[in-house]
Each structure stands twice: as structure tokens, then as C-alpha cells.
Structure 1
Amino acid sequence: MFRRLNILLLLLLLNSCALPPDSPRFRPSESLPPYEQENFEQYVRETRAWIADNRAFIGEDRELEIELNTPFEIRPDEPAKHGILLVHGLGASPWYFIDIATAMANDGWLVRSILLPGHGTRPADLMLADNKDWGKIIAHHANLLAVEVDELWLGGFSTGGNLVTSHAYTDDNVDGLLLFSPGFYPDTNYLFLTPAISYFWDWLNIDDEDNIATYQSLPSRGASLYYRSVSTVQKNLKSAQFDKPVLMTMSQHDSVLVANTMLTAFQNRFPNPKSRFVWYGESPPNLNDPRVTTLSSSLPDRRISTFSHMNVLFAPENAYYGEAGSYIMFENGQDDIPRPANPEDLWFGAWGQSEEEKYHARLTWNPYFVELLDNIREVAVD
């Protein structure tokens, strides 16, 4: 979603705002859906109906688009001791956690994945949400889940990682965190400008909306919401260590975040001996923390050069983003390189990955997905 947000902001300052086409996708809905229902079943039912009524559909399979953007719950066969609430990133959807959620439910977890207000319908709906909405929906559904389980965990991807970490600092019911590419330290020097920019210009970036699980376009309001989440989580991290178990994953070549700063933060701010940091890339120099696991992100036998911001979440078998999935993120910051006609000549990597005579699409699945599940079990199971 962000790709190179610093470049977009700089271009905006040097030029002018992006002007959207005359399309429902770039006009906000009349209002956001309610999210503080008395039970999760009602929340899912009402949110699904709201998405059906308000979504600017992209393709012909409307039911699939609704399904991939609706909050969901997966219950294990037996009563659950552990429960986890999962929170997606900016522009993404609850479905981003479907592979992890399914595996954890098979391990006996009660798993819920929520929809952040402003998502699931059209990019312009990010103009309607604020950080209070995001904080309130997490607090409400964390409380609902805590009633049903003995141990409450929170999980988040990217911006969702910021939000659940900040909530965990205030909620003693939270027993641990699973953080996938958490957006603590963005790779941009201009993010602080986004709240001011959002008062004057509506859009930072406008793209073709061809991905049914993710917004491709970014309103300035959305970038401002991300900035607020960064500011809050950084203040929390400075104020105190988080001493409960945490699993954190990071790609060395993440195009959105400063990976080395994330690793340093893990070592300094998350002291629990059970915590683990999974680093996808080359082993960092002078690393002597036994809690850090390094896995190579250069896998030429699978035409993978680097890992991306998002790929950790998805199993290779995923029907949409997987190794043989129906959607390929061809747009990857390589406009000067022709796209290969033969799929066998396509390589995969982080946004902006560039090598001579290789066209890189975005890597959208995790070759180490089975190992990731083992990492989760190691951290989150007694």
C-alpha cells in the first residue's frame, strides 16, 4: 500500500495533489458501519451487509470481494483456552490473516480478524475514519474475546501491528503479541507532514483498483492515520519496555520500514526471554541475541530475490496471493523493464527490487510459512 511513501510526499510538495477520476471508488460512503455490537456474530453479520451495500466492486465475483473484506471468526473443535484478535494493515483486509488464522484454529485457538473502519469498500472511505475509531474497535473486540478465553493475544500486520502494540500497553488482559512487519519505524522523512497535507489535498496516490483484498490508492487522510499510529506506538516504546512474549517478523529489504531499527527496538524494548524475532535476509553483523532467527530471503531456485513487506502472512498454497495464486502484483517500481511474456521468467521480491535482465513482481507468499507457524507455537503456547 505505501510502497515509497516518502517519494509520493516529496512529489506532492514539489508538484500538486493527485486528482481522482470520476468514480465511486474515489467518493466516500455516507457513513462508517457500527463496530461495537454486543457480540462478534452480530458484528460480522452487520459489517458484511454494510460492505455489500457500500463496496465499489472491482470484478464480477461480488461474493468473493465481500468475503475477502468481511471480518471473520474461526473456532476450534474444542473449547479454546487461547484466543487472538488479528488487525490488518492500512488498505488491507481481514482476509490477510486467513492462512495464519486457519492454522492457529487447527491448533486450538479461537481466532478473530476484524475490519478497521474505512476499509473493505472503497479507498475514499479512509477519509471517514479517525484514530479514535481504530482504537475503540480494537478495545471493544479485545474485551469481547477476553471474556471467552483464558489467554488473550493480539496480532497485527504493519499499521495493525502499531495499533495492537499500543493497545497492549494499556490492557492488562493482553498476554502477548504476534507482530508481522509492524510499522513502528517508517522509511520516510516526510510522514509528519501528512496531517497538514490532509487538510488541503485529498489524495497522495491514485492507482488502478484491481486488487480485491487491498486498496491500491492512498488518500492523504489514510497516510495521516498511519502517522498517528506511528507517533503513538513510538511514545509507548520510549516510555517502557513491553515484557510479555512477542513474535516479530521483518524482511531486511522491507520497502516501507527501517528494518535494522526494528531489530534494535526488539532487542531493547521487548526483553521477554520467550520472545522471538524472525529476520528474513542476510544475518545482521555482530548479532548475538539467541532470540533472533535468520532465514535467507534469496531463494534463486524459486526465483525469489528478496522478501517484501507483506509476503510473510501468506502460505504458498493461498489461492489468491500464493505461489500459483490468481493475482500477481506486477506493478513493482520497474517501469523501465519489460514484463516477460513467459511466466517462468518472472522473479519475485520486495517493491522496487531491480536486477539486470530480471523483472520482479511483488513476492506475496512466504516460502517459510510452515516455519512461521512453528515460531508462533514456540512463542505463544505454554
Structure 2
Amino acid sequence: MTQTCLDVVQNWQQIPHTQQQGLYRFAHEQDPIIIPNNADVPFRDYLAQTKSLIANRNIRARQPCPILTPVAKELGYNAEQLTVSDLIAPFELKQNNQKRAILLIHGLTDSPFTFHYLAKDLFQQGYSVRTLLLPGHATAPSDLQYVTLKDWQDTVEYAITRTAKDFEQFAILGYSTGAALAIAHVAQHAPSNLKGLALISPASEPHNKHGWLAKWIAKIPFFNWVDKDADLDFAKYESFPWQAAALANDAMAELKLHSLPAHLPLFSAFSEVDTTIDSIANLAMLSRFNSVSKQPQTHILYYYGNANNATAKLPKDYTLITPQCTHHTCDKVIDMSHIGILQPASHPYYGWQGLYRSCSGYLSDIPKYLACKQHPAPLLGERTEQNTRHTAPLQRLTFNPAYDDFTRQLSTFLNSTMSNYVQP
């Protein structure tokens, strides 16, 4: 019987072997990646070229993966025919007009699969939705050693330029490193029909203040990896090379050189407790953007944390929204994580009863790692030192209990930025 992506993620017994051998850590081809990003290439051709790249390099590309997400269903798939490649490739949901679009940019170690719920929500509101693939992703973690910051920047430039040509109005949503890349591009080359920017868990500064060392460590022979995990997650890399950390740090360093256009409405959402990104640095970045804005009332922060702590570091009267959580898991979550905001609790893979668990906080202790993967009632929250001290293992939160409220506030923002918006 053919093994599926779901069989892999639930095969606890093989985790130590898979982790040690790096069975999913390396691509089919260990050489530089050919990246399509010619600005004249129609977006449908770009999608086809990137899917071909995934098929050629990802050893699990053709593995059955019967997760019928809203986007997969909208694209015409059925559960029986879905493969890993179908779910992690960039995609487009098209309306029958060229009026309004949203471009979604994923983060480091991630893939467009992270947008399979949000994209459908936006599509149902009348937007065409596009995603891109940052080079080095959706193939194997080893491929992050073969790309440069310019490769990422060129791909973002292609997608923004192409979308600006193809639609009358559009907005950009960037997640984590995708947000950093979006900011850097828009700060220098904002198309006139770009109407808004949304930043989700934006990468402004790393939580670890030694990130600048990554580019030097990456040059040390045979010292390539920060983390070596089992890579059971078909949609996100769990292993992490030093070169990727260096690229992300360089992408964040770019932000100190730029500010956003004064007229551009801005929506941000992030957690006060974030072990990937410095949330205090995010607040400082938002204050800097607000100081040059000609319309500061169009800047909004959706904040998972103590509102008083945020308002103390933001300009007076900054629009701050705190989550309104009504899902039954609200009281089961310690705090929001860097990776959870974009996924609903109902997600069959990352959700409340989803098949995947993020347990990387215990990589150095395999018994605890395995206990996290199998515990009947793990704690849910960010992988802080305090949270991992509890007797029960901590599962890093991969979903958002307040997802419905988050998407409602995001949609209100996007609708307000688009002129003559008509609900379909």
C-alpha cells in the first residue's frame, strides 16, 4: 500500500531514525536552483515552472497527501488525487475580473500551503488571490543553502510587478520573512495601485540577538545545520541550515534602511510572546512607520498580548485591536506563537485536532520530543523556556483560536483600502 504524507507524519517509531539519517532533508538534485522570475512571464507560466521545479527536486512531491483544504477544493482537486506537490506549490484563485487582488508571501522554511485557508476566505469576498514561492522552499531544507537574498528579492519583485500589471488595485500580505521582503520592496518601489499592506508576525529583528553570526558560521565546513529534525511536515521545513538563518538576518537588516510610503494603509498582527522574532522591535518598527505616515489613522495593530504593554511603546492613539476569542480552545492556550496566526482551529493538519504537532522545543531530548508527539493533552503555546518547564510537554501552537475574529478584522482593513468595493 502506498504511503501517504499522513502516514509519514504519524510514524512516531521512525522519528529517531529519520532524524538521524536526514531522509527528507536533501533534495533530488544538489546543485544551484534555476529560478523563473522574468517580469514578462505570465503568472500562470510562473506557477507551472515552479511546480515543475518542486516535482524535480522534492523527493516527496508525488506522495499522496489527501488533505482537501478549501484552496485545493477550489482548484478542482479531490482528496484521492492530491499529492504533496499540489498542496505546497504556489497557486492563484481567480475572479472573473481584474479589479482587486491580494498577493500573499510566505515566510522562511514555509510554503504556500500556509495560506490554504486564508486565501479561500479572501477569495470568497471577491478578491483574486495569488501566492508565490520563495526560492529554496517546497523542495528540501538543503536547498536553502543554494539561494541568496537577491533570489528572494527578485521573486518578490516579479510577483509584485506582475500583480500590479494584471489588476486595477491590489494589496500585499507578508508573513514573517515574507513581510520583511515585502516591506523592503514596497519602501523603494511601491506601485501606484498598491492600496494596502498587511504584516503577519513580521520579521523585523530576530529574537536571538546573535543572528548576525549566522553568515560566518555558515562558512564553516561541515557545520551546516542549526537544527536537524525529522522533517515529517510535508509543507514546512523542520531542519534549518545556518545559511537560511543568515539570509533571514540579512533580509531583516534591510528594513533599517527603509520606511514605508507615507500614504500606505498598514495592518499588522503579531504576538507579544514570540521566540522567533523580537516583538518589541516590531513595535518600534510600527512607530517608525507611523511617524512618517500622512494617514496614521489607517495604521492598525492586531495584538496578541497585553494591550497596555503595546500602547506604551506606540504613538498616541495608534489603533490597537485585541483578539476576541470564542472558540472552545481559547482557555487551553497559554499564549500565541509566531507560527499560529494564519491557521484556524479546524485545520485538519495544523488545527486543534490536527495530525501534525510542532515539538522542536525538545530536539535535544528525544524522549521528551516523542512524548510531545504522542501526549494525549499537551500544553499549547509558544516554545519559551518557561512553557517547556512544565511536566506536560509543550506543543508549539500551530493554530489560532481567534482565527474568525482575526480574519474579520483583516477583511475590514482590506475592504477599506480598496475603492468602490462591492461585496460579491
Q: Which bracket does the TM-score occupy, shorter chain normalised? A: 0.7 to 0.9
Moved more, 59-68 or 295-304: 295-304
1:289 alignment partner, one of 317, 325, 330? 317
**Cα distance in 1 between the residues matched to 2:123 and 2:330:** 32
1:183 alignment partner, one of 203, 210, 213? 203
Q: What's the CA shift for 1:332?
A: 3.0
1:312 alignment partner, one of 317, 332, 341? 341
**Cα distance in 1 between the residues matched to 2:373 and 2:238:** 24
Helix, strand or coil: the match of 1:345?
Answer: coil
2:380 alignment partner, one of 348, 356, 365? 348
**Cα distance in 1 between the residues matched to 2:333 and 2:62:** 29
How many residue pairs get aligned? The number is 361
**Cα distance in 1 between the residues matched to 2:254 and 2:92:** 28
Q: Is the Cα–Cα contact under 8 Å of residues 89 and 157 in structure 1 kept in the other structure? A: yes
Q: Is the Cα–Cα contact under 8 Å of residues 350 and 356 in structure 2 kept in the other structure? A: yes
Helix, strand or coil: the match of 2:198?
Answer: strand
Helix, strand or coil: the match of 2:268?
Answer: strand
Change (3 A) 1:24 1:379: closer
**Cα distance in 2 between the residues matched to 1:222 and 1:248:** 24
Q: Is the Cα–Cα contact under 8 Å of residues 297 and 307 in structure 1 kept in the other structure? A: no
**Cα distance in 1 between the residues matched to 2:209 and 2:285:** 19
Q: What are the within-5 Å matches in structure 2 for residues 87-166 of structure 1?
A: 87-166=105-184
Q: What's the CA shift for 1:355?
A: 5.4
Gaps of 5+ in 2: 1-18, 66-81, 417-424
Moved more, 136-145 or 346-355: 346-355
**Cα distance in 1 between the residues matched to 2:128 and 2:169:** 10
**Cα distance in 1 between the residues matched to 2:123 and 2:30:** 34
Q: What's the CA shift for 1:165?
A: 0.6
**Cα distance in 2 between the residues matched to 1:339 and 1:25:** 23
Moved more, 164-173 or 357-366: 357-366
Gaps of 5+ in 1: 1-18
Q: What's the CA shift for 1:309?
A: 0.3
Deviations 1:336-378 (A, max 9, x none): 8683798652221012323533322011111111111222122
Q: What's the CA shift for 1:228?
A: 1.0
Q: What's the CA shift for 1:152?
A: 2.3
**Cα distance in 2 between the residues matched to 1:341 and 1:130:** 34
Deviations 1:254-291 (A, max 9, x none): 11112122123213323431121111122234545351
Q: Give the AA of the match of 2:308.
A: P
Q: Give the AA of the match of 2:248.
A: Y
Moved more, 34-43 or 92-101: 34-43
Q: What's the CA shift for 1:231?
A: 0.8
Q: Is the Cα–Cα contact under 8 Å of residues 83 and 152 in structure 1 kept in the other structure? A: yes
Q: What's the CA shift for 1:223?
A: 0.9
TM-score, normalised with respect to structure 1: 0.86
Helix, strand or coil: the match of 1:332?
Answer: helix
How much identity, in percent, do the aligned residues show? 23
Helix, strand or coil: the match of 2:174?
Answer: strand
**Cα distance in 1 between the residues matched to 2:373 and 2:102:** 43
Pair 1:54-2:57 in alignment: yes
**Cα distance in 1 between the residues matched to 2:243 and 2:253:** 15
Pair 1:40-2:40 in alignment: no
Helix, strand or coil: the match of 1:376?
Answer: helix
Q: Is the Cα–Cα contact under 8 Å of residues 101 and 128 in structure 2 kept in the other structure? A: yes
Q: What's the CA shift for 1:206?
A: 1.3
Helix, strand or coil: the match of 2:190?
Answer: coil
Q: Is the Cα–Cα contact under 8 Å of residues 55 and 61 in structure 2 kept in the other structure? A: no
Change (3 A) 1:107 1:22: closer
Change (3 A) 1:380 1:297: closer
Q: Give the AA of the match of 2:99.
A: K
CA RMSD of superposed structures (Å): 2.7
Change (3 A) 1:345 1:66: same
Q: Is the Cα–Cα contact under 8 Å of residues 297 and 305 in structure 1 kept in the other structure? A: no
Change (3 A) 1:224 1:301: closer
**Cα distance in 1 between the residues matched to 2:373 and 2:335:** 22
Residue matched to 2:227: 205
Q: Give the AA of the match of 1:176.
A: G
Residue matched to 1:265: 285
Helix, strand or coil: the match of 1:317?
Answer: coil
Q: Is the Cα–Cα contact under 8 Å of residues 63 and 84 in structure 2 kept in the other structure? A: no
Moved more, 110-119 or 365-374: 365-374
Change (3 A) 1:204 1:342: closer
Helix, strand or coil: the match of 1:224?
Answer: helix
